[in-house]
Amino acid sequence: MNAARTLVITTNVFREVMRDRVLYLIGLFALFLIACVRLLPEIAATTENKILLDVGLAAMSLLGLVIAVFVGTGLINKEIEKRTVLVLMAKPISRTEFIVGKHLGLSAVLAVLIAAMTAIYMAILVVDRVSFPIGSILVSSLYLFLQLSLVTAVAIVFGVFTSSLLATLLTFAVYFMGNFSRDLVTLGALSKNPAVENLTRSIYLVLPDLARLDLKNPAVYGQLPSPSLLLENAVYGILYIIVLLAIATFVFSRREF
């Protein structure tokens, strides 16, 4: 894989997505938080600070998810539908470079989006004199980026071989099931049915355990997993992304255009 060619694809994706009104989401996020600062004291006079912390992190996660899913599923599919993939494949670009470049480009957009929203989030908290654990919030944002990068890889895998609509639905399904896969294992154990237990364990092993990368709730209280567990979860996320991109490349290389 040629790093220079991959970087060209990455840069093109980054510029294209950033021009596609993504920056408006940052402004929407800021307006939403400002509205929350004004309205929450009226409806939750004793716990508005805690609610504001929760709402801000949840809004960051939701907006990032929207970009990861809706843009990610169309990264490859759009090229196929418009037949522009034929032009790209005629150039000296391998399909691995194409897939990896697309993923890195959207991941770079997510990194900018999350960094900007985190900065706005913290600025509003400071201006409103809301105390918050800065270290935990920053680590939570970093792992949110890793989670969304993984979701982007899932979206690319589905976008390689199916329509944008179906890929979007499947990616959302993986996201929600991935966040609750541990609960499925627990439910399977409670069922006392070997078939159900095997099914839930299989789902847990196949689907990404996105709960590993979700630190929103403990971060609000200034609590984080141990450094070793944080490192283990980060490695898990990165390895899962690599596997998903390998699968996407394999499927894409078998497609005829």
For 128-166, write each residue's pLDDT tens digit.
777 878 889 999 999 999 999 999 999 999 988 888 888
pLDDT one-digit tens code per residue, 190-218: 666 677 667 767 777 778 888 888 888 88
Distance CA 8, CA 14 (A): 10
What are 159's two structure tokens?
């976008």
Sign of torsion, CA 199 177 153 141? negative
The two most distant CA atoms of the chain are separated, in Å, by 63
Distance CA 33, CA 121 (A): 7
pLDDT one-digit tens code per residue, 75-123: 877 776 666 666 666 666 777 888 888 899 999 999 999 999 999 988 8
Q: Say what the pLDDT of residue 232 is.
A: 92
Split into its structural domains, the chain has a count of 1
**Contact at 8 Å (CB) between 21 and 103?**
no
Burial (CB count <10 Å: 0-12, 13-18, 19+), residue 86: exposed
Distance CA 61, CA 73 (A): 18
Residue 43's pLDDT band (cuts 50, 70, 90): low
Name the residue range of residue 201's domain: 3-253
Q: DSSP character for 93?
A: -
- The SS3 call for residue 68 is helix
Task: Tell the residue number behind the tokens 């976008």, with chain if given.
Answer: 159
